[in-house]
């Protein structure tokens, strides 16, 4: 029998829109087809034009690449300007933060991210079931991949 996750009683999180997860550090915001469609519509562009303008291909091993948003030279997200300019259309990766497997796998990971994110352990309580559903969303909406 698998042990109960540390978040069995749920976890509190409310985004404060502090932008700490959007700025200052290098990283990747991987995109699904539905992310691209939603973002392209938000910025009034065609799908392929959006990819050419706002995306980059990241090697992922095995001869494949994954699609990610570009970032600015200072590591800010390409859509950050005094806040997220596409907040209502933001990618799944952004919408599900901090409920990522790498963060909720262990209490220590959650606590480590808490030092960087003022919304963790604050505000709305998310149930174990809600967290599980958020974790499964990526499986239902996979990242765009291509062969190099």
Residue ranges of domains in the chain: 11-147
Provide the pLDDT confidence category of residue 3 given band limits of 50, 70 and 90.
confident
Answer yes or no: pTM beyond 0.85: yes
Please say whether the beta carbons of 125 and 10 come within 8 A. Answer: yes
Does the structure show a pLDDT above 90 at 80?
yes
Whether the per-residue pLDDT at 107 is higher than 80: the answer is yes
List the structure tokens of 121: 């352990």
Average pLDDT, integer, range 120-148:
94
Predicted confidence at residue 1, as pLDDT, reads: 74
């Amino acid at each position: 029998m698998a042990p109960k996750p540390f978040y069995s009683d749920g976890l509190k999180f409310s985004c404060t829109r502090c932008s700490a997860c959007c700025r200052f550090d290098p990283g990747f915001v991987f995109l699904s087809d539905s992310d691209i469609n939603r973002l392209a519509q938000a910025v009034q562009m065609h799908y392929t034009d959006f990819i050419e303008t706002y995306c980059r291909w990241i090697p992922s091993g095995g001869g494949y690449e994954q699609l990610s948003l570009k970032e600015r030279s200072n590591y800010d997200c390409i859509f950050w300007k005094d806040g997220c300019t596409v907040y209502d259309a933001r990618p799944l990766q952004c919408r599900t933060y901090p409920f990522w497997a790498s963060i909720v796998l262990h209490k220590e990971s959650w606590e480590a991210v808490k030092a960087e994110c003022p919304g963790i352990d604050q505000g709305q309580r998310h149930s174990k079931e809600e967290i599980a559903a958020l974790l499964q969303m990526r499986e239902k909406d996979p990242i765009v991949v291509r062969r190099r």
